[in-house]
Structure 1
Amino acid sequence: MRRRKTFFSEIKERKVRKGLIFSTWDGSFWAVMFGFAENYIIPFAVLFGANAFQVSLITATSQLGIAGGQLTGAKFIQRFKKRKVLAMICVSIHALSWLGVFYGTWLTRSVWVILMFFTAGFLAGNFAAPGWVSWMNDLVPPQIRGRFWGFRNRAIGITQFAAITLAGVLLFFAAKGKWEISAFGILFTLAAVARGFSLRPLSKQYEPSMTVPEKSEEFRFLVFLTKLRTTNFGRFALFSFFMTFSVNIMGPLVSVHLLKSLQFNYLQYMAVIMAAIVFSFVAMNYWGPLTDRYGNYRILTATAIALPILPIGFVVLKSAPWLVLVQIFSGFVWAGFNLSTANFIYDAVRKENISKIFAYFNTVNNVAAFAGSLTGGFLTHLTRLLVIPRFGSSNLELIFALSAFMRIIIILVFIRGFREVRQVEKSPGLEHFYIYQPMTNIINRFRPMNGRRSRDREEGK
């Protein structure tokens, strides 16, 4: 039986090929940490009495930690130049932060301790992010970029599925047995260990020499800001920033809505949250070749058009099975949107500037997320004063509807302001991405199986 060729066979250098495999292992260990701890940080905070505003604040400050870490990390790595060393130091700090989140909160019973250690972990992890992005940009061959990130993210998604499921089942039975705090202690400790295990593949991953631009060619943050309205990349960035703001108005409140307004148990909560996360990573494998073929702009626009539909599901639907279906579609759409966004940056930015531009982009993007989360948190003080039939006690559905309306406006204003930056095939219509191509992929999945069965029948004659 012939082995099916993969895109790894296109990579000539063995150290590059092995480096990409080690990177996938690193991502998988990160996924265990996410599934055991980060995915359940809001239920943990709610367990210790956090209200809707405090939940929004925890999310908002962590995003501010991302912004601050990436902005300072971009400048630091230009001078330090040891991307692997910096990544390993920051991963170690990130791992230890989860011990602080649980044990510090357990000892003090304070939600503010969660905020402090959770933000510190994000700050450390993202301080290394610009260097890691530059490292991966040097490592991944451009011709397989979409396929590799699709493969890596699919592996991460499968690992997340297992971790989130195990954690959800443990918390479900812990809630029944009144030992939830102990269950969170087990999960957060295992998350710290898993993040620590990332050090092994990181230490073995090949690091090409880093290209540092001359002082006169450095792309500074103020220059980045002044070009937002005048360049193709700048207009793309503005679209992304405003979309991030609109999404994060409701983002942190979804968990509060599920746990408090709809009174979901941990298994129902796990199923709804996990559906989007896992399907997003699985669908990366679908969108990756399409971004390579039709370009990132086309996939970005095709998925952006569906974004306003997603919040409406949380406005009108109340049962877990229906919300799981909404989240599956959400994961499918966000997979294409996030992959094409990241690849658009890689394609549009000069190689020597990638670490700084990526950091600047993520800094402003996370400031937008911070502002959106805070805005959503403040709006909860207003919505709870209203009485609306069929809505929850805090009327969070109003905030979800506002998020949907804002997404429509942002698409109408910004989507035609930028264009594709490389030569690609002419793209088919929307129905190709949402109907024809998925159906073709499903049929092709079963065709080899039918072929094998036919051969088996012939051989048995």
Structure 2
Amino acid sequence: MAKKKGVIAQSLQNSIKDAGAVSVMDGAGTNFVSPFAIAMQATPLQIGLLTSIANLLAPWFQIFANKLMRVRSRKFIVSRAVLFHALLWIPLALIPFLFKDLSLRTWSVVFLFALIAIVGGFASPAWNSWIGDLVKKEERGRYFSRRNKIAGAVVLISSLFAAWFLNLFNGEKNNLSGEEVLIGFSILFFIAFLARLISRYYLNRQYEPKFKYDPESYFSLGSFMKRLRNSNLGRFVLYSALLRAAVTISGPFFAVYMLRELNFSYPAYISMTVASSLGSIAILSIWGRLVDRFGTVKVIIISGIMLSFIPLLWLVSRNWYYLLLVNAFGGAAWGGFGLSGGNFIFDVVPREKRSFAFAYYNIFIGAGIFIGASIGGLIATHSSLKILGSVYLFLFTISGLARLFFTLIFVFGLREERKVEDKPIVEIAGTELMGGFVDDVFVFVNNALPRREAIEEALKVNSIKLKEKRKILRRRILKFNRKFSDKKEKSFFTKI
């Protein structure tokens, strides 16, 4: 038993290393696919399709992945899918060298990114089932908050490096085009390929608990849809799908707005991603504690309301410093929503049915993303309606109001599955969330600043080391002194 616990603990450590490698892929690769398409003069509709097609198609292949679990282990499915996922970054990197026609280039990006999403998502149900068996129920909040925090930090660092690297190719022009910068993108996508291979290495070093497929655990998409409005999971899936639709009305176009209308450089653009990552990292451990203490539903409510205001805050100012704060707030909100949403499904769905539940959940999420991004793309391309002179700000307004509408309708109908502490949501958001953040800041500052005891201890250690060095020096001088026969010289060295 002790040996098995040690193997599981090591596997969870390797899972964190896997997350770090995937984060390099996301920071240097995924985060720069939209700017890559924009640099090749992609239209707003193509930018919308870049997100929507990938998310629409990928979940349907996950159903086949579930059926594959009948004859293959979860580890086998994940390992093979990740290998092909890594290899697909290579043709994406070669697009600037294979095609010269801009239209052919941009549509190739849309097609290849859809393939990347499909193959990457293929592993999702098996991985969710696998990791769910490794992490204890009562430790999920803390473990996944730690894992996500480390992943977020790596995304931050790799994104900063990628932005700085691209700027070397872009020079002083900041015109987001030209063959030179496309070479920079190609190198970044090759780095993403290598990072995904490293991720696969750590996945293969993880223990897989025994899993036997139970035919009775199967439930069809049709039966799942019939229970959407009445089951706890169904209500959450409906809410998540509609929320994603509202989010992606504006989501794909933040990059276009920053790069084309605000004329941000690559470092300025990626600083928004960095701010989002910092916001998430700063508060993830608090979200984890809240999930473990008060349950997933209350965290979903708080974070869902928070993320509804993100696009509306973009209307207030175009100031770079202000937008950094908005993105940090957004990162904090999405960190809480992602953590609580994933744990909600783990709590609601029995172990043997999780892979199907995640697959069907992703189908609805993909449909929501496709609908939202398509609506956003059509409005951005054909609408003459603008707010403050920008059609993108009009999209942000629609998105924010729709997010808030769906959140208020659905989240208060969700039911907590675990037995947790009871506390009003307002108090959790105030004393626990904000108070916890302030406490963490004070702890960080207190640990970062040198204290009197630490300084005295350091001086004491240095004094001891100095005395030891003096003794060593004296012994060496005496040894050297013996080589001299002249008594005057000997007495001279002895006095030193």
Q: Same fold (TM over 0.5)?
A: yes
> Of 401, 406, 412, which aligns to 2:402?
406
**Contact 1:134–1:354 (8 Å) recurs in 2:** yes
The CA deviation string for residues 127-166 of structure 1, in whole angstroms up to 9 with x for no partner, is 1110011000111111211111111111111111111001
Q: For residues 11 and 293 of structure 1, do their structure 2 counterparts lie closer, same or farther at Cα, with a shift above 3 Å needed?
A: farther
Aligned residue for 2:88, secondary structure, equals helix
**Contact 1:71–1:363 (8 Å) recurs in 2:** no
Q: Normalising by the residue count of structure 2, what TM-score does the alignment of the two structures yield?
A: 0.85
1:102 and 2:98 matched: no
Give the drift of 1:211: 3.7
Aligned residue for 1:235, secondary structure, equals helix
Q: For residues 114 and 437 of structure 1, do their structure 2 counterparts lie closer, same or farther at Cα, with a shift above 3 Å needed?
A: same
Unaligned runs of 5+ in 2: 173-177, 461-496
Task: Write out aligned runs for 1:342-357 (5 A).
Answer: 342-357=342-357
Larger Rg: 2
> What corresponds to 2:201 in structure 1?
200
> What corresponds to 1:438 in structure 2?
437
Aligned residue for 1:316, secondary structure, equals coil
User: Match for 1:14: what amino acid?
Assistant: G
1:371 and 2:371 matched: yes
Task: Write out aligned runs for 1:203-282 (5 A).
Answer: 203-213=204-214, 215-282=215-282
> What corresponds to 1:6 in structure 2?
none
User: Match for 2:358: what amino acid?
Assistant: F
> What corresponds to 1:4 in structure 2?
none
> What corresponds to 1:5 in structure 2?
none
Give the drift of 1:195: 0.8
**Contact 2:156–2:273 (8 Å) recurs in 1:** no
User: Match for 1:299: what amino acid?
Assistant: V
> What corresponds to 2:79 in structure 1?
88
Unaligned runs of 5+ in 1: 1-9
Aligned residue for 1:86, secondary structure, equals helix
| CA distance in 2: counterparts of 1:348 and 1:168, whole angstroms | 40
User: Match for 1:201: what amino acid?
Assistant: Y
| CA distance in 2: counterparts of 1:450 and 1:283, whole angstroms | 21
| CA distance in 1: counterparts of 2:88 and 2:361, whole angstroms | 25
Give the drift of 1:279: 3.0
**Contact 2:286–2:436 (8 Å) recurs in 1:** no
1:424 and 2:423 matched: no
Task: Write out aligned runs for 1:53-92 (5 A).
Answer: 53-77=45-69, 79-92=70-83
> What corresponds to 2:27 in structure 1?
35
After TM superposition, the structure 1 stretch with the greater mean CA deviation from structure 2, 434-443 or 333-342, is 434-443
Aligned residue for 1:321, secondary structure, equals helix
**Contact 1:153–1:282 (8 Å) recurs in 2:** no
| CA distance in 2: counterparts of 1:267 and 1:130, whole angstroms | 35
1:124 and 2:131 matched: no
The count of corresponding residues between Structure 1 and Structure 2 is 446
* Identity over aligned pairs, percent: 30
| CA distance in 2: counterparts of 1:20 and 1:357, whole angstroms | 23
Aligned residue for 1:307, secondary structure, equals helix
User: C-alpha root-mean-square deviation of aligned residues, in Å?
Assistant: 2.1
**Contact 2:301–2:412 (8 Å) recurs in 1:** no
**Contact 2:23–2:154 (8 Å) recurs in 1:** yes
Q: Normalising by the residue count of structure 1, what TM-score does the alignment of the two structures yield?
A: 0.92
